[in-house]
Amino acid sequence: MRILIAEDEHVLAKQVKGVLTAENRVVDIASDGVEAEFLGATEPYDLIILDLGLPQRDGLTVLKNWRAAGVDTPVLILTARDGWSERVDGLDAGADDYLTKPFHMAELSARVRAMIRRKTGQASPVFTKGNVIFDSRNNQVTVDGIPVNLTAQEVAVLAYLFHNADRLVSRSELSDHIYQYDGDRDSNTIAVFVNRLRRKLGDDLIETVRGRGYVIKVTV
């Protein structure tokens, strides 16, 4: 899952990125409002973490512009401790949730997981398909109760397909959501990751629709 952090406090932005990257999420950082608005409007993020006190263009303006342009990506706003009016304005402008600085990284991670699940219509953080269980809280995968080690790219592909279960996902869409903005996006490598997942988790977990993409079907 791919996330944009719009935060001008470089230390905080790196800390948040480190936490989310450790959870096998792909993270881009924008340090001002102009860059944030451009990336949020042109890149397919699964979630955006938006500081309202951005330079060049404030976060509230950026958020309003996104929503006016039809960008429906979930947005978690960050505000100062005494910024209750900013929280209200942010929620009224279209934000989905907020955190007050300073905050605990564990709470931010939990809110990110919950917002992504809501976006994709998934109620539980634990996904099950046959004998395969994927726990999105810690990215742990088991087959018949036995843990399976996956690479970061394999986790990214599996997580996106499970979060979008029963929906056909193209290679290009997967590529857009597992690589950074300045990364080398090669949709052909997606087939490699899918084949590895089948070898580790079973041939019937991920179905291929020839010429169109992949799907994990959990609804009978």
Domains 2-120 and 126-215 agree in fold: no
Q: How far is CA 182 from CA 27, 42, 81, 105, 122, in A?
A: 11, 13, 33, 26, 30
CA atoms within 13 A on the CB side of 144: 3
Fold of 126-215: Arc Repressor Mutant, subunit A (1.10.10)
Q: At residue 170, does pLDDT exceed 60?
A: yes
Which residues lie below 8 Å from residue 27, measured CB to CB, with a gap of 6+? 2, 3, 4, 5, 16, 17, 20, 21, 180
**Residue 6, pLDDT score:** 98
Contact between 218 and 133 (Cβ < 8 Å): no
Q: Return the CATH class of domain 2-120.
A: alpha beta
**Residue 51, pLDDT score:** 95
Q: At residue 81, does pLDDT exceed 80?
A: no
Q: At residue 216, does pLDDT exceed 90?
A: yes
Handedness of CA 52, 55, 58, 59 (dihedral sign): negative
For 19-62, the pLDDT digits (tens) are 999 998 999 999 999 999 999 999 999 999 999 999 999 999 99
Question: Domain extents for the chain?
Answer: 2-120, 126-215
pLDDT band (50, 70, 90) for residue 87: confident
Q: In what order do the strands lie in the sheet with 47-51?
A: 26-30, 2-6, 47-51, 75-79, 97-100
Residue 181 per-residue DSSP state: T
Q: Which of 121, 140, 102, 74 is nearest to 11 (CA)?
A: 102
Weakest-pLDDT range from 78-92, 98-112, 153-167, 175-189: 175-189
Environment class of 103 (CB within 10 Å of its CB; exposed 0-12, middle 13-18, buried 19+): middle
Q: At residue 183, does pLDDT exceed 60?
A: no
**Residue 185, pLDDT score:** 62
Q: How large a percentage of the chain has pLDDT more than 90?
A: 81
pLDDT band (50, 70, 90) for residue 188: confident
For 104-133, the pLDDT digits (tens) are 999 999 999 999 999 988 888 999 999 999
Contact between 50 and 76 (Cβ < 8 Å): yes
pLDDT band (50, 70, 90) for residue 187: low
